[in-house]
A and B are shown apart, each in its own frame.
Chain A
Amino acid sequence: MLSVNDIHTYYGHIHALKGISLEVKEKEIVCLIGSNGAGKSTTLMTVNGILHPAEGRILFLGQDITTLPADKIAGLGITQVPEGRRILPRLSVEDNLEMGAFLVKDKKKIRKNRDEVYELFPLLAKRHKQQGGTLSGGEQQMLAIGRALMSNPKLLLLDEPSLGLAPLIVEKIFDIVRQINDSGTTIFLVEQNANMALSISGNAYVMESGRITIKGAAKDLAQDEAIRKAYLGED
């Protein structure tokens, strides 16, 4: 579904991505793990069209999206739950969801999606008039995910969904991610919490200083000695 080929992305003079290649197949959950500053968020932002690579190609469902602007890429069915949630702070929960469905034309569909999101996250239904910025971290994460679901994306990108959240909530979030995948959405997930990420993924990539260093099936990587030492906090 998504094919990233040898992309190099720069932040000003900083060479953030040094030839990244990866693949996400339909209905898969693929994760990208690595330590802080490895370039994981940059990768997602490049896929989403917020950043554009200086070299390399990105293909989505066979179409070359390398130079497309972010809002056009959203129209193709890719959306992101970004790092830090990025809830629109002064919009209500309901309005945030409405913005998630910005590209959806059918009003009935929007309402249906919204009701489904409220079913998935009853807390959001309760607080639907509340301003986004006043929600707790966990609630914001639910809102961000709900918002992403409003557009029935084909490919959902998740940037550090566990960041700053209590372990119980993290588990819940990952359960929901699995649920979303079960209902047909492809997931590409970026995480520092390698344990959780590997536990739900099919394939995994490890990233370090802007390069992909290891790739393979998630179960295999979870057993791998080197990875366990470096990323899973084992001794």
Chain B
Amino acid sequence: MSSRPLLKFAIVLIWAFILLFPMLGIEEDRFVWDRVLKVMAVITAAGMLVLVYHYFLKGLSLRPKVFDEASTKFRPPRRLLIGLGVAGVLALPWIADNYGRDIAINVLIYIALGLGLNIVVGLAGLLDLGYIAFYAVGAYTYALLNTNFGVPFWLALPVGCVISAGVGAFIGYPTLKMRGDYLAIVTLGFGEIIRIVLNNWDKVTKGPNGILGIKAPGLFYPVVENGSIEFAHLYLKNLIWMYYLILAIAVLIMLAVYRLNTSRIGRAWMAVREDETAAELTGIHTTRMKLYAYMLGAIFAGFAGAFFAAKVRYVNPSSFIFLESALVLCIVVLGGMGSIPGIIIGAAAIIVLPEMFRGLALYRMAAFGGAMTAMMVFRPEGLLPAKRKAQEVEMERETATIP
């Protein structure tokens, strides 16, 4: 048994101590050991688990078994599962109370955002860190149009989408022409700019106070009265209506993404994602394709944003901070880039888990950050990867010749 893993383990522990002690162990001029020791204990335990795996379990490739065999042996008929799922989703507002409906609506909003961002990040491979800005654009567009000019939801929706697309083009065009890497910083900056502008442009956006009194989407429906057909108007304020509306939006986006995945444009995006130079050589206008992906993502976010404004009927800048962009990104990355079921589960997890584990709320983002890095290092395909992506990663692992 070589001693090298043990040596590495020792170095890791020493290094961790050096990094943790100044931050956790010094208060004024006293040395406090309890926090440092707690964290060191966790690291030591994790390290020992890794060592055990390395020394005893390595030969027994556990992972493939767990996923492959289980899925082929124990899976009940697929259609039954899907049917139950669909039924559950449709019936949800009637089974749950308002709290449950609200959570479900939030999950669906994040699913819509995740799918939209997936087009940019998962399909085209562009890192967008300011995605929430388009969400804000959509929301504030409807808010402003509605409260200042009385524009109804269904009219404001396409306007919001167009504006989002326009902004996306303006930001994306110079950036994508240069290095794709720059998009990350530019979008990050852009997200912040939007937030700052929304916060400070008191005259228009009402600053940190936000915009109140936004109307919910309205619906005209026919009513038979005295033998003639009249149209009555109903505001869809009820959470049940909202749920079905966002469900429809989410399903729409889901269908769009699914079709895109297999379409020519989708394959062009994936080619650009994998190897831009090669894609360029096969005749794909990479800059244009990237721009389209970015704009499409913007449109979907704008869509979701308008819905958000209509549902909460109040917008203020604090809903559009970087944290939100990061969360949506986590959904896409941790769920498996390009994978629709992965994003659904990711969105559900990100909304539901913090509700369940309220006490650990402070650790949430640190955990997501660490998970994202860990995912890239150990399992870049994500938790429930799109089939094609997983194959690609496997092939790369097999043919790597450089040690």
Residues of A within 8 A of B (CB): 9-10, 12-13, 51-54, 67, 69
Interface positions, chain B 346-401, Cβ under 8 Å from A, are 395, 399, 401
Interface positions, chain B 23-70, Cβ under 8 Å from A, are none
Contact with A along B9-28 (1 / 0, CB 8 A): 00000000000000000000
Residues of B within 8 A of A67 (CB): 403
Asked whether A10 lies within 8 Å of B403 as measured between CB atoms, the reply is no
With an 8 A cutoff between CB atoms, is B402 at the interface? yes
Asked whether B399 lies within 8 Å of A51 as measured between CB atoms, the reply is no
Asked whether B403 lies within 8 Å of A51 as measured between CB atoms, the reply is no
Residues of B within 8 A of A9 (CB): 401
CA distance A93 to B383 in the complex (A): 51
Q: Which residue among B399, B401, B402 has the maximum number of chain A CB atoms within 10 Å of its CB?
A: B401
Asked whether B399 lies within 8 Å of A52 as measured between CB atoms, the reply is no
Q: Which residue of A lies closest to B395 (CB)?
A: A13
CA distance A53 to B402 in the complex (A): 8
Residues of A within 8 A of B403 (CB): 52, 67, 69
Asked whether B402 lies within 8 Å of A12 as measured between CB atoms, the reply is no
Residues of A within 8 A of B402 (CB): 51-52
Q: Which residue of B lies closest to A53 (CB)?
A: B401
Known: A52-B402, A53-B401. 10 other contacts (CB 8 A): A9-B401, A10-B399, A10-B401, A13-B399, A51-B401, A52-B401, A52-B403, A54-B401, A67-B403, A69-B403
CB distance from B187 to the nearest CB of A (A): 31
CA distance A31 to B403 in the complex (A): 29
CA distance A52 to B403 in the complex (A): 8
Residues of B within 8 A of A53 (CB): 401
In the A-B complex, the 8 residue pairs with the smallest Cβ-Cβ separation, listed nearest first, are A54-B401, A52-B401, A52-B402, A10-B401, A67-B403, A13-B399, A52-B403, A10-B399
CA distance A54 to B401 in the complex (A): 6
Q: Which residue among A12, A51, A53 has the maximum number of chain B CB atoms within 10 Å of its CB?
A: A12
Contact with A along B271-286 (1 / 0, CB 8 A): 0000000000000000
CB distance from A210 to the nearest CB of B (A): 15
Residues of A within 8 A of B395 (CB): 13
CA distance A67 to B395 in the complex (A): 22
CA distance A9 to B395 in the complex (A): 16
CA distance A51 to B399 in the complex (A): 13
CB distance from B114 to the nearest CB of A (A): 31
15 pairs, A vs B, C-beta closer than 8 Å: A9-B401, A10-B399, A10-B401, A12-B399, A13-B395, A13-B399, A51-B401, A51-B402, A52-B401, A52-B402, A52-B403, A53-B401, A54-B401, A67-B403, A69-B403
CA distance A52 to B401 in the complex (A): 6
Q: Which residue of B lies closest to A13 (CB)?
A: B399
CA distance A10 to B399 in the complex (A): 8
CA distance A26 to B25 in the complex (A): 62
CA distance A51 to B395 in the complex (A): 18
CA distance A52 to B399 in the complex (A): 12
Q: Which residue of B lies closest to A8 (CB)?
A: B401
Residues of A within 8 A of B399 (CB): 10, 12-13
CB distance from A18 to the nearest CB of B (A): 14
CB distance from B62 to the nearest CB of A (A): 27
CB distance from B279 to the nearest CB of A (A): 15
CA distance A12 to B395 in the complex (A): 9
CB distance from A52 to the nearest CB of B (A): 5
Q: Which residue of B lies closest to A55 (CB)?
A: B401
Residues of B within 8 A of A54 (CB): 401
CB distance from A45 to the nearest CB of B (A): 11
CB distance from A15 to the nearest CB of B (A): 10
Residues of B within 8 A of A52 (CB): 401-403
Residues of B within 8 A of A13 (CB): 395, 399
Interface positions, chain B 250-278, Cβ under 8 Å from A, are none
Residues of B within 8 A of A69 (CB): 403
CB distance from B401 to the nearest CB of A (A): 5
Residues of B within 8 A of A12 (CB): 399
Residues of A within 8 A of B401 (CB): 9-10, 51-54
CB distance from A206 to the nearest CB of B (A): 25
CA distance A54 to B399 in the complex (A): 9
CB distance from B192 to the nearest CB of A (A): 34
CB distance from B26 to the nearest CB of A (A): 40
Residues of B within 8 A of A10 (CB): 399, 401
CB distance from B281 to the nearest CB of A (A): 15
CB distance from A149 to the nearest CB of B (A): 28
Q: Which residue of A lies closest to B396 (CB)?
A: A12
CA distance A98 to B344 in the complex (A): 57
CA distance A67 to B402 in the complex (A): 9
